[in-house]
Amino acid sequence: MIVRMIIQTTVWLLFLALLLCLGAGTWAWPQAWAFIAEIAVFSYGIGFWLARRDPALLASRLSFRPHPDQKPWDRIFVLAAFSCFLAWFLFMGADARRFAWSHLPSPLPYVGAILIAICMAITIAIFAANSFAAPQIRIQADRAQHVITTGPYRVVRHPMYASALLFLLGAPLLLGSAWGTLMLPIGALAFGWRVGGEERTLRAAFPEYTSYAARVKYRLLPGLW
């Protein structure tokens, strides 16, 4: 499992670097390499940690292929979201470097790096609390899945999406792409749509989810939604 994690993570990081530099038209882009370095530190760190703490969760996180138990509409969502994600990285390279369509003040890349770090810290807390945090929306009956109410799930019902919003803002800030921040409202709308389907799935599978949702009123953002 560790070997698979190392290979898969390395290939993914190299692919992201390729997308950024293709969009930028150059390999000489310090902010892109700073972004890749930060993501690498957290990706490998979390991977080694999960390999020791929760190998089953690591296995599920490494698998993005459609699962037999995955909802059909979610398969379409994941494919569309992944395609948009890749196009976003190409666009940010073109925006921030090749054509310089937008400019950001010099302190903002540091803010972006901090937001990404916070996103990763929340993700670690999520993985510590929820062994069923698979990329696909599906009920893991083979692993006796149940409703998680601890850790970040005491604050919002879908902390993974909340942390992803920090990434959608932090990445373009670190890379220097003001236009790239448009992915934040787009992502928020997409997550909001997926949350609706996920909650219907959870309520149908777990009767206790209704009482949990009554206790934890907010889905993504405390005090807002």
d(C-alpha 27, C-alpha 214), whole Å: 51
Q: Give the whole-angstrom CA distance, residue 210 versus residue 188.
A: 23
Whether the predicted pLDDT of 67 surpasses 90:
no
Q: What is the CATH number of domain 2-215?
A: 1.20.120.1630
pLDDT digits (tens, 9 = 90+) for 170-182: 999 999 999 999 9
Q: Show the tokens assigned to 198.
A: 């996920």
Contact (Cβ atoms closer than 8 angstroms) between residue 16 and residue 34: no
Cα–Cα distance for residue pair 158/126, rounded to 1 Å? 10
User: What six digits make up the tokens of 21?
Assistant: 């530099």
| Cα dihedral across residues 99, 103, 109, 111: positive or negative | negative
pLDDT (mean) for 206-220: 93
**For the chain, domain boundaries:** 2-215
- Sorted by sequence, the CB contacts under 8 Å of residue 211 that are 6+ apart come out as none
133, pLDDT greater than 80: yes
Q: Is this structure's pTM higher than 0.85?
A: yes
Contact indicator for 160, 133 with CB cutoff of 8 Å: yes
